Structure formats: structure tokens, C-alpha cells
Chains A and B, each alone.
Chain A
Amino acid sequence: MSTVFITDGDRPLGTALRESFTNAGFDVAVHPANGDAKSLAAAISSAGPVELLINNAEPEFDRLAFEEIDENIFVNMMTGVARTAFFAVQAVHPIMQTLGGGKIINVSSSAPVCGMTGGAHFTAAKGSLYSFTRSWANELATDNIRVNLVAADVTTGTAAEDGGGETPLGRPVTIEDVVETITYLAGSGGDMISGQEIIVDGGFTRVGF
């Protein structure tokens, strides 16, 4: 039985991913998105054969004017998203090497692409994932590890949300929409896709930008 490892597995998207992969017959392990490298390494090494890592840090945050974001808020956001993802990948890499390959999916947002007033901390943190995705896709390809990004514009403040949740496709994006996209990349359809980003936004990002 292979394992799916999900960071931030208790918030809405994490919960939905956990249920979906459990129903599909995987063992699922979760860990909080707290940037704790040692605890992540311990959890991942005892999680079984992790063939899919989902870096799903989905932090709640307040929309704040740039001047109102204090250093702690900024650093906590970077730690939760970037540091958690980085050290989860570092820990899962040797396991996937042993398994002959694996997949990593980084869950981000459209904010680093479109910008976001009042979200400098969130946008910076989620922006790191775009470049991590490209870098790891390159560096880990020889180990048959595929790394992609899915931007989930559902629960966090995003371009689509700023548009009142309306999308050009006529209905809001749901958690299930995002789970389906991740499931596709996790399946054989995603076997030859690496270093790419898919923004699940109902077409919103392409309107007016």
C-alpha cells in the first residue's frame, strides 16, 4: 500500500484530499504546516512508502495593508508555507529515490501571478512555491520525481475571491474541483508532466489581466 503525505491536512482542502485519497485506497498521513524540519522528517520517514507528497499549507490570514504586516506575521507565513514545503521535500526525496520515483504537488494560489492588495505576506509565501516547483522538477527529474503546482482559488483570498467568487465559467470553484485536478496529476495522466502550474480558477485569471 502506498502512502500519500499531506501537510496541513485538517483545513478544508486538506480534509477533502485526505478523504479522497483514503477512499481511493491509499494510506494517508498528515502533518501540520509548521515549518518544523525535524518533526516533518520524523513523520515522513515513519509514514510508509510515500509516493505522493502534497504541500498543502493553506494558512488563514488577515488582509492587511503592507505597513500593518509585522515581522512576526510575515515570518510565520513564510515558515508555514515555504519552510514546511522545503523540508517536507527534503525528507521525502530519499524515500522516493528508493521507490524509483514519486510525485510532489505544491498547492498555491493565483495571487503570486495576479497580485493581491492586502496580501503581501501570503503572496510572497505562495510565490516561493512557483519557483520551488520549477527548481525541484529540474533537480529531481533524474530520480523520476515529478513536481507540479496546483493553484487552488477556493478558500483563501485570491483573485477569484476578490471578484466576488464569480468566475467566467459561471459558478464558483469548489474544493472538489481542486481535488479532481490534484487527483489527475497524481494519476497516470500526470506521469509525463513536471515543472508545470495549473490555476483552478474557473477562467478568472485570464479575465482583465
Chain B
Amino acid sequence: MSDLKGQVALITGAGGTLGSSHARAIAARGAHVVIHDIIADAADAVVDDVVRLGGSASPMVCDVTDRQAVKSCVDAVTAEHGAVFILNNNAGITGNNALIKDIDEDFFDRMFDIHVKGAFLVTQEIVDGMKAAGGGRIVNTISGCAHSGAVSGSHYNGAKGAIVGLTRALASEFTPFGITVNAIAPGVTPSGMTRVRLGEEGLAARAKQLVSDRLPTPEEITTGVMFFLAEEAAIVTGRVLNMQQPRKAEVI
């Protein structure tokens, strides 16, 4: 399928596990994918991977919390490739299962800056171009924990909840411009971040709590993103797709 041919997609934090999976899938549908990350090597590796698979990609390296850096990167991308049609706000850091008593001001601020202010800034920088081009698709990556309240760090969950609010507000506001704004809420998926938070043993234990006895692959989470990108999904907006799996009844 090449239904996204000629479109530009920007995925923040695409040097990581989920973002790189989304990037491969979107590139396979014909879009040029801008692989953003704060770590240049991570972005470059994913660009190489996408190109090796026959797709088109370029790196973008900056900190999503830095307005000037985001602005100059987005300006450069737009000048070279045209307006961004697909934005996935995916960059994030782990809450590391921290309890509220152990979360200091720095950790709290970093969490809200990267997740909430980051999504706010990147969206602001791309939205004019998206409006001018006549539409677009914004998919924010939140987390199942924002719904379930599972302990992963309440600062992490709260930041993801803020992005739910942002998603719903912007869905109303951007509808007249042909832009949809939705979110996916993945359940625990083995990734850079969850390996740090849970370790291999912790991930295996999480799998055992599920009726399916297995965690999703990144590609299965990507399915959620692709749903919102479908041409036929133009009326779907302001929604959160919760991708958590059913848990075994005996697990509390």
C-alpha cells in the first residue's frame, strides 16, 4: 500500500522502540518519515533501517522541551520536505515505578516538561503548516496507566492524563481544519523504557498477569496508530484507543 505517498510524517522519540516501529510502518505506506530523537545515533540508526527497507526517512535531533530547537528543526523539515501531515508525539521517559514520596521536584518537572510541554511545543510548531496544507493527523502516545492508575510513577500517569486533556481540547479546536487528534494508550510492551523500569524478569511477570500470557510486540501497538491514519478514519477524533489487554481475574 502506498496511500501515504507524498505525505510527511514526524515521529518524536522515534529512535526508541515504539516510535521506530511506527516509523517503519508509516514509511512502508509511502510517507517520508522524519525520525526525531534527542539521541542522534538512535535517530540515525532508525533512518538507516527505514531506508534499508526501501522507505524514505531523515533524522531530526533536538530536545522536545526546547522551543527554539523544535522551531528551527520543524522549519528545516518543512522547507525540505513540505508540511507535516502526520505527527506522533511519542517521545517520553519512564516514571521508573517511583512512589510519590520519592519523586523530587526535578523528576516531576522533567516528566511534565518532556511529555506535556514537549507535545504542546511540537504540536504548536507544526500546526500552522498542517492547517495551511488543508489537514492532518495527530496521534499522541499516552499510556494505559493513565486510565488504570497502575503504579508506574504517578507523575508519569498524571503527565499522560494531561495529554488526554490536550488531545480532547485540540480535537474540538482543529476539526474545522480537517485535522484529527487522537491518542493510543499502549499496555506494557517490551521497549527501551520498560526494560529500564521492569527488567526482563519484571516484563515476564507482567506477561503472566495477562489472559493472553504474552506482552504485545511494538508492531501490534503500531496497529493502533495506523487506525487513526486511515483515510476512512477522518471522523474519528478526540479518542483514546486503550490497548491494554485483559488481565487474569485472580490478579489484584
Partner of B165, one of A74, A111, A133: A111
Residues of A125-154 at the interface with B, using a CB-CB cut-off of 8 Å, are 125-140
- Interchain CB contact under 8 A, A131 and B158: yes
Given A83-B108, A128-B165, A116 and B150 contact (CB-CB distance below 8 Å): no
Chain B residues whose CB sits within 8 angstroms of the CB of A135 once the complex forms: 145, 149-151, 154, 157-158
- Interchain CB contact under 8 A, A127 and B162: yes
Closest chain-B Cβ to A137's Cβ sits at a distance in Å of 6
- Interchain CB contact under 8 A, B170 and A66: yes
Whether, in the assembled complex, B161 has its beta carbon less than 8 Å from a beta carbon of chain A, the answer is: yes
Cα-based distance from A28 to B169 in the complex (angstroms):
34
Partner of A89, one of B100, B117, B168, B171: B100
Closest chain-A Cβ to B235's Cβ sits at a distance in Å of 14
- Interchain CB contact under 8 A, B127 and A132: no
- Interchain CB contact under 8 A, B161 and A127: yes
Given A117-B172, A132-B154, A71 and B166 contact (CB-CB distance below 8 Å): no
Chain B residues whose CB sits within 8 angstroms of the CB of A93 once the complex forms: 100-101
The size class of the interface chain A forms with chain B is 35 or more
Whether, in the assembled complex, A115 has its beta carbon less than 8 Å from a beta carbon of chain B, the answer is: yes
Whether, in the assembled complex, A37 has its beta carbon less than 8 Å from a beta carbon of chain B, the answer is: yes
- Interchain CB contact under 8 A, B127 and A128: no
Whether, in the assembled complex, B160 has its beta carbon less than 8 Å from a beta carbon of chain A, the answer is: yes
Cα-based distance from A149 to B71 in the complex (angstroms):
37
Whether, in the assembled complex, A21 has its beta carbon less than 8 Å from a beta carbon of chain B, the answer is: no
Chain B residues whose CB sits within 8 angstroms of the CB of A94 once the complex forms: 101
Given A93-B101, A115-B168, A139-B154, A127 and B163 contact (CB-CB distance below 8 Å): yes
Chain B residues whose CB sits within 8 angstroms of the CB of A133 once the complex forms: 149
- Interchain CB contact under 8 A, A131 and B160: yes
Residues of B217-245 at the interface with A, using a CB-CB cut-off of 8 Å, are 238
- Interchain CB contact under 8 A, B103 and A130: no
- Interchain CB contact under 8 A, B116 and A86: no
Chain A residues whose CB sits within 8 angstroms of the CB of B116 once the complex forms: 78, 124, 128
Residues of B151-194 at the interface with A, using a CB-CB cut-off of 8 Å, are 151, 154-155, 157-166, 168-174
Given A115-B238, A116-B172, A117-B173, A139 and B161 contact (CB-CB distance below 8 Å): no
Q: A86-B103, A130-B165, A131-B147 are in contact. List 5 more A-B contacts (CB 8 A).
A: A86-B155, A87-B105, A126-B165, A134-B148, A135-B151
Q: State the 10 A-B residue pairs at the shortest beta-carbon distance, nearest first.
A: A127-B165, A131-B161, A134-B149, A123-B169, A112-B165, A115-B172, A135-B154, A115-B168, A128-B162, A123-B165
